[in-house]
Chains A and B, each alone.
Chain A
Amino acid sequence: MNKKVYIRSASSISPQNSFGTGKMSLNEIVEYSGDKLTCIEPDYSTLFDPKLLRRMSRIIKMGSATAIDCLRQSNITMPDAIITGTAYGCLEDTSIFLTKLIENKEEMLTPTAFIQSTHNTVGAQIALILKCHQYNNTFVHRGFSFESAVLDAMLLLNESGKTNVLAGAADEITTNSHTILSRFGLYKRSSANVKLLGSNSKGTMAGEGASFFLLTNETSTENIAQLTAMATFYKPTGPEEIEKNIAYFLQDLSIKTNSIDLVIFGRNGDNREDDIYDHLEKTIFKDRRKTSYKHLCGEYPTSTAFALWLATDIIKNKSVPAFLGNGVHADTTKQVLIYNHYQNSHHSLFLVSAC
Chain B
Amino acid sequence: MSASVLIAGVGVISAIGKNVAESLDALESGKAGMGQMHFIDSALSDKLPVAEVNLNNKQLSVLSGLSPQISRTTQLSMIAAKEALADAAIENFDELRTGFISANSVGGMDRTENFFSDFLRDPSKGRLRDVVHHECGSASELVADDLGIRNYVTTISTACSSSANAIFFGARLIKHNMLDLVIAGGTDALTKFTLNGFNTLMILDQEFCKPFDENRKGLNLGEGAGYVVLVSDRILSSLKKDPYCSLSGYYNANDAFHQTASSPGGTGSLMAMRGALAESGLSATDISYINLHGTGTHNNDISEGTAIKELFSSPYPKMSSTKSFTGHTLGASGGIEAVFSVLSIRHGIVYPNLRLTTPMKELPFIPETKFLKNQTINHVLSNSFGFGGNCSSLIFSKL
Contacts and interface: CB of A to CB of B under 8 A. Distances in A.
> Is the pairing of A and B real?
yes
Interface string B316-333: 000000000000000000
Interface string A96-135: 0111011101110111001111111101110110111111
Contacts, number: 172
Given A98-B112, A123-B388, A138 B132 contact: no
Given A133-B256, A135-B253, A142-B141, A102 B136 contact: no
Interface stretch (B57-65, B157-165, B213-221, B297-305): B157-165
A101 B159 contact: no
Contact of B128 (A116, A184, A232): A184
B192 A133 contact: no
A227 B90 CA distance: 36
Interface residues of B, number: 63
A105 B271 CA distance: 41
Interface string B102-138: 0001010000110011011001100010011001111
Given A120-B157, A124-B389, A184-B132, A137 B252 contact: yes
Contacts of B256: 127-128, 130-133
Residues of A in contact with B, size category: 35 or more
A351 B87 CA distance: 40
Contact of A142 (B120, B138, B390): B138
B363 interface: no
Given A115-B259, A141-B140, A87 B154 contact: no
Contacts of B155: 139-141
B153 interface: yes
Interface stretch (B8-16, B69-77, B193-201, B369-377): B193-201
A119 B104 CA distance: 10
Nearest to B168: A137
Nearest to A158: B176
A38 to B, nearest CB: 19
Given A123-B388, A130-B256, A179 B123 contact: yes
B137 A141 contact: yes
A180 interface: yes
A138 B253 contact: no
A180 B165 CA distance: 31
Contact of B200 (A99, A110, A125, A183): A110
A144 interface: yes
A140 B153 CA distance: 11
Given A102-B117, A139-B155, A184-B128, A118 B254 contact: no
B192 A106 contact: yes
Contacts of B260: 111, 115
Contacts of A1: 176
A106 B252 contact: no
B267 to A, nearest CB: 6
A148 interface: yes
A217 B116 CA distance: 46
A-B pairs, top 5 by smallest CB distance, nearest first, are A124-B388, A114-B197, A119-B157, A141-B137, A106-B43
Given A137-B158, A234-B153, 15 more contacts: A87-B135, A101-B193, A102-B117, A114-B197, A115-B201, A128-B258, A128-B259, A131-B256, A136-B252, A137-B165, A137-B390, A141-B153, A155-B176, A159-B1, A183-B124
16 contacts: A98-B112, A99-B116, A102-B113, A109-B196, A109-B199, A116-B259, A118-B387, A120-B390, A135-B252, A136-B158, A136-B252, A136-B388, A137-B156, A137-B390, A152-B169, A180-B119
